[in-house]
């Protein structure tokens, strides 16, 4: 659910956030089940598991400013469409003075087999328009990425249609398992234990 754009208090600004956790995707219900939206799916699962309150409108995004399991974090789903995601990230990072090494972006990854999860700090965008936008608007590539594999259609000409199509019923079941694992162990990422996070998620989300 979503509530209106209400500014946070000065007291809240003093304690939030240390981390910016961004899920990439496209807004509107027609895109909800798309492979390209698995970043949104992961953020929704994190919010649900944490019993967090309603999303609010801020920074051209839906945000949750209440923290995460006691951690000082801002959850964000940019509502600018994928190729302008960097606008939201740059605005939030500037407002809260969040350093690049405290930004985590969750996104779909064509170059990983479906269901595989890998963590990476820095690097190129590998053709991902959301990452390209963040790189351009934020001015750095040195943020953390949680790469969620969606597989590749096998031919470059089919990529656009593939990422903008829905998961199959079987894939969605496995995708739900994957995002649940990410949510369950996100506290490890925030504790600086990225290798342990990746191991735990991989162990628990093997295709079932």
Active site (catalytic) residues: 36
4-11 own/partner pairs: CB under 8 Å, 24+ apart: 4/56, 4/57, 5/56, 5/57, 5/58, 6/56, 8/65
DSSP 83: G
Q: Write the CB contacts of 4 (distance below 8 Å, at least 6 apart in sequence).
A: 56, 57
Q: Regarding beta strands 103-109 and 144-149, do their DSSP bridges make them parallel or antiparallel, or are they unpaired? A: parallel
How far apart (Å, rounded) are the C-alpha atoms in residues 89 and 203? 31
Angle value at C-alpha 165, between 43 and 172, nearest 5 degrees: 55
DSSP 15: H
144 three-class SS:
strand
How far apart (Å, rounded) are the C-alpha atoms in residues 52 and 177? 20
């Amino acid at each position: 659910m979503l509530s209106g754009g209400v500014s946070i208090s000065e007291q809240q600004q003093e304690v939030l956030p240390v981390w910016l956790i961004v899920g990439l995707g496209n807004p509107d219900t027609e895109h909800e089940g798309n492979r390209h939206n698995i970043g949104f799916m992961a953020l929704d699962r994190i919010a649900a598991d944490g019993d967090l309150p309603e999303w609010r409108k801020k920074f051209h995004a839906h945000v949750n400013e209440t923290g995460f399991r006691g951690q000082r974090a801002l959850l964000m789903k940019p509502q600018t469409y994928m190729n302008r995601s960097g606008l939201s990230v740059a605005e939030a990072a500037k407002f809260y003075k969040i350093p690049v090494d405290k930004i985590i972006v969750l996104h779909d990854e064509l170059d990983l087999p479906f269901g595989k999860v890998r963590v990476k700090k820095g690097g190129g965008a590998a053709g991902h328009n959301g990452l390209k936008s963040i790189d351009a608007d934020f001015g750095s590539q040195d943020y953390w990425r949680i790469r969620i594999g969606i597989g590749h259609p096998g031919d470059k000409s089919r990529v656009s249609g593939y990422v903008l199509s829905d998961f199959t019923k079987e894939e969605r079941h496995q995708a739900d398992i994957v995002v649940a694992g990410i949510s369950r162990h996100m506290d490890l990422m925030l504790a600086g234990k990225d290798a342990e996070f990746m191991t735990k998620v991989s162990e628990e989300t093997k295709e079932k």
